[in-house]
Each structure stands twice: as C-alpha cells, then as structure tokens.
C-alpha cells in the first residue's frame, strides 16, 4: 500500500494503477489509442456541434460556459468530465436559466504542440462563440487552466507573435482547477508522488518534453509567458 492512496476508494486505486502501468508502456505515437473516440454523446442522446469548439447540446449564446480541458496537451477530454459539465448545465437550467455548454477543441500532441493550443484559445475567446464577454464563463483544469492563465498573461503583456486579445467588457468569471503551470515535470510532486499519481515520474517527464518543440527560436520570453 502507498500512503497517498489510503484515502481513496478501491475502484479509484485500481483505475489509477492500471492507467499508470499502461501509460508507462506507451510512447507518444500510441497515446491516441489510449484515448479512443468517445461514445458519450450517442449514449446520452446529446448532439455535439463541431466548429471552433464543441457544443454539447444546443448552441445557446445568451450565457455560455466554455470548458478548457486538461490532459498534458496530449489527451482529449474524458467521459467523466463531459458528464460533469452536462450535469452542471442541466442543474443551472432547472433554476430557469438557459445556458450553452462548449468545450475548446484545441490540437493535441503529436498532431500539434505549444504554442498552437494557446493560439487557438486566443482565437476562440476573441470570437466568443457569439456571446458577449460578460455572459461568458471560462473554466479549466490542469493544462486547460494553464491555457487560461496564459490568456490573461497575454492580455496584460501582449506577445507580438499572437493575435491581440481585446475584449469590450469583462469576462463573467474564470474558475480554475489545479492549473498545471510548469511546462516541465521533472521535479517536485511529479517525483514525490510518482507511486500514487495517474502516471509515474518517467512518463510525465517524457510527455513534458513533447510540449514545446515548435516554440520559435526557443524564445525565452515566449516560454516565460506560457509558464
């Protein structure tokens, strides 16, 4: 037994252990096979509209929740997160409010790497999916939350390589969950918690090395902005 696992249910421990084992065997080319196309929409009779982002259900623009998923810039959104945000939207609608739920559909490694996901985030927020900023809530976890922090950094200190982000009003709100700010995974909790995390230290370090190969000229200022 690992000390960090004792507070978790057996099912969670088994799932994390299985993923940690398989994830340690797979390379970057095999990652898409770990995250096969989801059957979540068809199982729940939900329509997914594909454009700059993925609309779950009707594309309402009066009020929007935009979710930016995590996954080390390598893994897509999972079924559990989709179910959670759908449940959240339905709970809000029961109070009499109509909202739209959209998920940022950014490119993943190995098809693309930073700074491309950040450029896509700027583009989608600039477009706003048809909503006024004061009616838009952007939520993110892990690297999704980090992309949102990068967005704020760009608003405060614009980087000339990217499109200017100029919003006419304030965004309604930005809840962030466990932002994965460091672009490397070779120290700190990645080493200390390697035996209980969803991936051990070696795969974390390997995935981190795949994130930044296309940063122009290995620009220090750009890397600082993305951190």
Domains and CATH numbers, the chain: 3-226 (3.40.50.1820)
Question: What's the pLDDT score for residue 68?
Answer: 94
| Strands laid side by side in the 136-141 sheet | 48-50, 53-56, 100-104, 64-68, 136-141, 176-177
Could you give the CA distance from residue 185 to residue 116 in angstroms, rounded to a whole number?
20
DSSP, res 37: P
Separation between Cα atoms, residue 162 and residue 204, nearest integer Å: 28
Backbone conformation region of residue 207, classed left if phi is above 0, alpha if psi is from -120 to 50, else beta: alpha
Please tell me the predicted confidence (pLDDT) of residue 175: 93
Instruction: Give pLDDT tens digits along the chain (227 positions).
Output: 555 566 667 777 777 777 777 766 666 666 656 555 555 445 544 444 445 678 877 778 888 889 999 988 888 887 788 888 888 888 888 888 888 888 888 888 878 778 888 888 888 888 765 678 898 999 999 899 999 998 988 888 888 878 888 788 889 999 999 888 777 666 677 667 666 677 777 777 777 777 765 555 544 455 555 55
Record the pTM.
0.78
Please give the pLDDT value at position 173.
Answer: 92
- Per the CB < 8 A criterion, the answer to whether 55 and 64 are in contact is no
Q: What is the pLDDT of residue 31?
A: 61
In angstroms, the CA 6 to CA 150 distance is 35
């Amino acid at each position: 037994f690992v000390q960090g696992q004792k507070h978790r249910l057996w099912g969670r421990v088994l799932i994390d252990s299985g993923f940690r084992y398989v994830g340690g065997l797979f390379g970057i080319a095999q990652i898409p096979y770990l995250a096969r196309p989801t059957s979540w929409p068809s199982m729940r009779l939900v329509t997914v509209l594909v454009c700059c982002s993925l609309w779950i259900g009707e594309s309402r623009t009066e009020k929007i929740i935009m979710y930016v998923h995590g996954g080390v810039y390598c893994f897509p959104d999972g079924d559990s997160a989709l179910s959670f945000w759908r449940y959240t939207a339905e709970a809000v609608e029961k109070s009499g409010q109509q909202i739209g739920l959209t998920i940022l559909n950014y490119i993943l490694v190995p098809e693309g790497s930073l700074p491309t996901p950040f450029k896509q985030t700027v583009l989608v927020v600039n477009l706003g999916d048809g909503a006024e900023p004061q009616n838009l809530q952007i939520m993110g976890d892990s690297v999704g939350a980090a992309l949102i922090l990068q967005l704020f950094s760009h608003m405060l200190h614009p980087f000339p390589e990217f499109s200017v982000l100029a919003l006419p009003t304030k965004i309604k709100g930005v809840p962030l969950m466990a932002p994965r700010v460091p672009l490397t995974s070779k120290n700190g909790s990645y080493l200390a918690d390697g035996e209980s995390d969803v991936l051990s230290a070696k795969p974390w370090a390997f995935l981190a090395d795949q994130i930044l190969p296309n940063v122009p000229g290995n620009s220090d200022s750009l890397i600082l902005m993305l951190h």
